[in-house]
Every structure is written in C-alpha cells, then in structure tokens.
Chains A and B, each alone.
Chain A
Amino acid sequence: MYGGGSGTHQSKREMSLEYQAQISILRPSIRARRANMTVKFQDVHGFTVEGNVDDVNVLNEVREKLRQQCRVWWALEANKGVNWYLETHVSSTLKSSLKFSALVNAITLKRLIKKGIPLNFRPKVWFSLSGAAKKKSTVPDSYYNDMTSAVFDMVTPATKQIDQDLPRTFPGHPWLDTSDGHSALRRVLVAYSFRDSDVGYCQGLNYVAALLLLVMKTEEDAFWMLAVLLENVLFNDCYTYNLSGCHVDQRVFRDLLAKKCPRIATHLEGIDFDVSLVCTEWFLCLFSKSLPSETTLRVWDILFYEGANVLFNVALAIFKMNEEELLVTHQVGDVINVIQKTTHHLFDPDELLTVAFDKIGFTTTTTISKQRKKQEPAVMAELDQRLRRLNSLHENGDEN
C-alpha cells in the first residue's frame, strides 16, 4: 500500500488514494478541533484508536515518513540488488574476508532500520534478519502444514486456553476479530504450543502472534517469526510455566533504571512503586498492548535486528520521557496515569526511539545477559520458596 508503484502513473494513483484516506481521517478532526474533544479513527493496521487533533496530525506525518522511507528502500533495491540487506554479516564472517561493501551495507541497514522498515518490506526483511528464514530452511517445507494438521483436533490445557483467548485478542479488529482471523491465530498458537512444550501457551503470546499475523500476511511466516522470537531473539525463559525469565527481567530492569534514571528510581521507590507493576505487561506483550500499533512495530523492527536489549531501552525511554512529571507523583495511581497517558499517545515512533537509542546510553544484549545471570539464582530461590510454602499450605488445607 505504501510502496511507490513501478510506474509514475501507479504511484500517483496511490498517492491520491492515500490523500483521500487522509481527508476522511481529517474531517472529524476539524470538527473535533472546534469541540476540543477526542475522535476515534482507524490506524494504518486497522486498530481503532482515540486521539485528539494533534494525534491525527502526527499519524499523518508518520504515514508521510513511511512513504519517504519506502522510496529509499526501493532505490536501494534498485542500486544494490533485491537482497542487499542480507550481505551485511560482517561479524559472522572472518575478519580477513570482510568486504567493504558489506560494511557499508551494515551501516546503512542499521540506520535505515532505526528509521523504520516500510510496511511492504517488513515481512521479508523481518523474516530474513531475525533468523526465521534460516530456522525454516532446516526443516522440510511441509513442516508447518504437517504440524497444524496433526494437532488441530487435539485438546490440551494449552489449546483450551488458546480457544478462550481468541475472541479476547484485540476484540473489534476488522480482521483479527473474524472467524478467519481467529482460525489463523489458533493454528499458529496451537502449532507452537506443541513445538515447544516448555512454553506451551502463555497468555500474552496471543497479542504477539496476532500482530505477527497482521505484518507477515501468511500464517506460516507468522509461525516462524513466533518461533525465532521465543527461541532466539528473546531470552528463552520468559514465557515458561512459572515466568521465571519475566521475574529475572524485572529485576534487571529495576537495576538498570536505578543506574540510568536514578532520580526517577529513587522517587518511585520512595512512594513504594514497584516498576514491575507496569513493566511486566510491556515485556510479555512486547509493548503490543500499550503502544500504538505502528510504534510497537517500529520497536519490533529493531528488536528483530538487534535483540532483547531493545525492550529494556524502550522501557527506560518511557520512564525517561516522563521524568519531570513522575518526580511530582505521590500515589501509585498518579504514576500509572502519567505512564499510560504517554504510551497510549506515542503515535510518533521517532519520539520514543530517539530517547531510547540516542539519549539513554545504549545497553547491549551482552550486558543484559550478564545481569540476568546474576539475578537468576535469587529468582529461582524465591520462586522455589513460594512453591514450597504453597504446597505445604495446600497439604494442610486438604487434611483439614
């Protein structure tokens, strides 16, 4: 939709279609300006969002930037070849065979990804750069179809939970909330629950898989993206039976916030606000329930390229952007309001990503891994202790 067409005629036609779309969005907003109220409209991925005139204008600017980026990507393809962005693996090849062009491509790619991958490039760029393509290539072509047909009528705790969640995943979305959308999401989640029995199905993945379906267009590609995400991109214990990885991430994040935003951390601690109260959902849904859809996908652009550290940087940025407001909060509710007001209205991805990657010192995945290793024993001990305490409670309860 956003790709400049192959000929001038086509791109003009697309431009005019885009223009009409903008007018239909702007029309209620002009009235809204007079009434100074919020309007509901559909964003580029079909989600209904509420916002004021400024938000609508920001969204239109974002669309315009997407169009510009699209032209850049087309031009690069024309110059460097269709798969130019795959020839960037400087780190994985021997230094001696390092080619200058690969290095140039790597720098270009990194910069481009920060600016956002255009909608029609996203499926193939994500699929290649995340490692999903490689993962898929190691199994027979029929893997996904065999899997879905083998397990479609099986009933497990995971499938029961998945069935409950299908109509509860972005209800009201024009495609996800249809029988086609539900069936596709079901097949992806059920197939994955059988592929990885440690994870099975964890609530939260419904939102992640739903967005993957919207971006990737095909179920099979969405399935492989989910697989590479859980098995390679993220730390592999995040969604397991006791969410131990999630506990670890929260501890690491708390320390990181204390280091990078000490004033905020001290203040929140002073009013007894545990940042995990808001961060847990961010990390488990990869922001898909908190940020506007295109902003979420812009975070994912970088996530699939750089790794799980991106989640930490973005979470830090959300706090950092609200520093002054957060410092005058007194109650839990105030903090939540400040944070939610920001996340729900972050229609301009660059506003967030600039803070996340330019203003806060970058945190690498290696640093996060090290910190996670440090926290793991304490988390395991805590979870184990809780389990033992509950078991003894239940045993006593059953005896009575």
Chain B
Amino acid sequence: MDFTVSVLLGTFLLSIAALFIFIWSMSKGLFGDGVAAATEIFGKNELGTVEDPAATRTQMGGLQQAMGNVAERMTEEEEESRARADKSTSLVVGVCLTLAVVWLVLASLAGLISSIKLHAPDWLVQYEWLTFGRIRPIHLNLVAYGWCSLAGVGVAIWLIPRLLKTELVGAKYALIGGALWSIGVFAGTVAIGMGYSDGLEWLEYPWKIDILLVVGGALVGFPLWLTLLQRKVEHLYVSVWYIGAGLLWFPILFLIANWPGLHFGVQQATMNWWFGHNVLGLWFTPIGLAASYYFIPKVLGKPIHSYNLSLLGFWSLAFFYSQVGGHHLIGGPIPSWLVTISIVQSMMMAIPVFAVAVNQHMTVLGNFRALAYSPTLRFIVLGAMMYTAASIQGSLEALRAVNTVTHFTHYTIAHAHLGLYGFFSMVMFGSIYFIMPRVMNWEWPYPKLISLHFWLVLIGFAIYFIWLSIGGWLQGLAMLDENTTFMQSVAITLPYLEARSIGGGLMTLGHLVFAAHFFAMGWKFGPKRLGAALLSNSLLSRLTGKGVTA
C-alpha cells in the first residue's frame, strides 16, 4: 500500500481509538466530574439569577424577565466572598486590560495602513518603518501578542478566583509577567520597524526579546497554580481546564519556536506552522473558549447544556488541534505524510468544534431575547458563532482540493480574521464589558457607546470578511488558470482590497469608540450611575462606605 495512504489510515484509526478510549474513561468517571461541575460557577442559590455588569438597570430588568423570575437570592456571605474574589484581581486585571486596549488601537491603525497600502502602493513609501513588509507584521504582532494575549491574560486572571471561589494568590507574579510581556511587545514592534526581524511569520521578534515573552508568559500563569492550591471548589469547571492548559502551552511553544540556531531550512518551515497554528489552537482558542464557557451560562444564570461534552471538547481540541499545522504547507517541499497527518487531524477537529457548538449554542437556544438586553452576551454569543464558522471553514480549507485554490491568497487572510477577530476579539470585547465595572467599581458611563461599538465592528467585519473571501477565492481561481496572466490575478483583487479597507476602517472606528469609552470609565467620566452594575445594593453601600475604589 502507498505509504501516504497508510499514514492517512493509521492516523485516522489511531484518532478514532483515542476517542473511544476517552469516551470509555469518561464513562468510568476518570475524566469528568459529571453534572455537578457545571454548576460550580454559581453560588448556592444563584441559579436563575442573571448577571451582566455592563447592562443598565432597565436592561437588567429585561434580562432577568427574559430568563424567568427567581425566588431566592444569593446569601450575603456568598456575595461578600464573590466581591472579595473580584477585588483580589482588580489591579492586575485593570493593568492588563488597559495595556490590551492601547495595543488594540495601535494594532488597528497598523492594520488599516497595511490594508490601504495594498491598493495605494505609492502611499507613505518614504519611511522605512511604514513600508508594507514592516507595518503588516507590526499589525500582526500587536494584535497577537499585544491586544489578544494581554486581553486574554487579563480575562483569564479575573476568571480564576471566580472559578475557584477564592481570592487570587500571587497577583504580583502576574503583574510582573504582564509588565515584562508588554515591554517585549513594545521592543518587538520597534525591532520590526527598524528591520530587525527573525523573518518567520508569527515569530518576527528577535529571540532576545522573545525571552521577555517566555518569562512573562510563565509568570502570568503562576497565580493560577498558587490559587489552585487554595481552591474552595470540589470540581474544576471546564474553563479552568482551558485556562490552565493554555497558560502551560504558550511559554513552551514560544520557547521551542524561538530557540536560536536550532531550526533550519524546510524543517524550520514545518516548525513555523506547528507554532503558527498552535498559538491559535493552544493559546487563543483555549482562553476564548474558557471565557465564553464562563460568561454565557453566568449571564443567563443557567448551566451549560452538557458538561461531559465540554470536557470531551477540551481533550479532543488539545489532541487534534495540536497536529494540524502541516496543512499550511500543502504542495510545499515537505514530506507528504506530514501534510497528510495534518489534513486528517484538521477533519477530526469536527469533534471538538461540535462539542463546543452544541454546548454553547444549545445553552443560548431559546433565550435569544436575552441578547437584546445583555451587551456582554451579544458580543460573546456572536463570537461563539464565529468560532463554529471559523472552525468549519478551517477544516474545509485543509482539504487539498480547497487548499489548492485558497493557498497563497487573501482568502486565508479573511479566514484568519474570522478566527482571531470574529471569534476571539469579540469574546474579549464582551468579557471586558462584563469585567471592567467590577474592576473599577464604576459603571460604563455611556451605554449607547457599547451599541455603537458593537454595530461598527459587526458591519465593518462583515464587509471585511465577505468581500475579502470573495476576492481571495477569485484570485486563487485566476492563479490556477494557466491562460490567465499573473497580473490579472492581481487586478481582480483590487476592488475587494478596497472594500476591505472600508471594512477595516469601520472596525478601527469601532475600536476608537471602545477605547474612548474604556478610558472615560477609567477616569470616571460620565453621569454617576453607581448601583445597578454592582452585586447588590446592600453590599454596595458597605463597599463604598469603606472607600473601595479601584
């Protein structure tokens, strides 16, 4: 039998076998903690109580009504311990999220400039640091390591005490880690601008700067392990699994990928995409899913649809996602068995995606009215839908027939944005809207700006994604047709590239609105509406009486 075919078959059988072993072990209770773990994120009487600090008093009323009225309230003791848990993270989370928002604005501007340059090639060409080949990687790195990573770290750290029902231990490690990380992002951006790039996509920062991210990344994970030792919950909620694994995986991936002098030639290319895909699958995806697995049920006040399915999703994501990187090199000069393994595992990704989709969508199903009232939920549910879409699209793109068209085209860029923007960034926006009122003890001053942000980025992204996907597909078809000149494949994309700039412009505008609102809250601007966003009125008076501000 042909070797490649046997590898294909072998990988497939092995994966199926692993899956059955997993299901068997779950039935024996080796992996799961059963249904009890699903309600671990709620207080004793809390089920049925909605929570969205970003909602106004009227919205909260509507939200609670949409979910049905509750008879019981949380005990004062529980409320107080939750408030203490939230307060233990406020400084470090506030710092991480503020930095993330700053990086987001800079990243958006860099992205917009790159986008315009593709259809206005003689614009801003005098400055070396603004040339397309530098401002584009500046955009990517600012998005990935600036905005997404720091937002993810901030959200993850804020979730830890809530998931483990105890105060955060060792916040200072995360603070130092976040600071090192940010210095690394700044230094890396300057380095790329000056032309000191390692030359690998996703790994442009010079290795001396990478040390800051490896150490910083390891340090931000520290509080999780310290807090785990103090945990007051019996079961680990699925979000803890995702966050814990993500915080372990990232520093290791980044360390191996950037090790100076280790990688060479084509081997470096396989390593490049082992990293390039794993940074998405084993870093951003786990954090994004951890957040949506917490906020969807928490806002709605009802547990996720199936807890066992969520753990199946976790382990199968880890297993399959970690091996899909090779599909970035289909048709390239690398061993074909390697590409084959990655294609098979890309297909197997259907399992974790299905598990997450069923869980998250079924939890929301029947409660769509809640979306009208909860700003947090609107972003996160949209993000969860985009996760499903991006994952299915990603699996299809790994198929050789589809990949032959889409490889090397703007279609891939559109897909990358569906994942990191449509899914991850949307979930982060929603999470930040939920978290910041707790961090600052202050409400969002202008609720209308949240809606404005939502619609700007939604419409902007729809234009971005739809037009760029079409343009990319046409570009791919043109390149495959030997009777079409290469320049025709360039010309065909121009209107779509222009549309992308319009979409990107709207997204950037949305981010400016978001950032302005964020800092308005930071400086406590706007009408004083303290009250509805906080845990309860009784607690509020005690907290403000003690002078608790951020």
A and B together in one complex: no
A interface with B by C-beta (< 8 Å): none
B interface with A by C-beta (< 8 Å): none
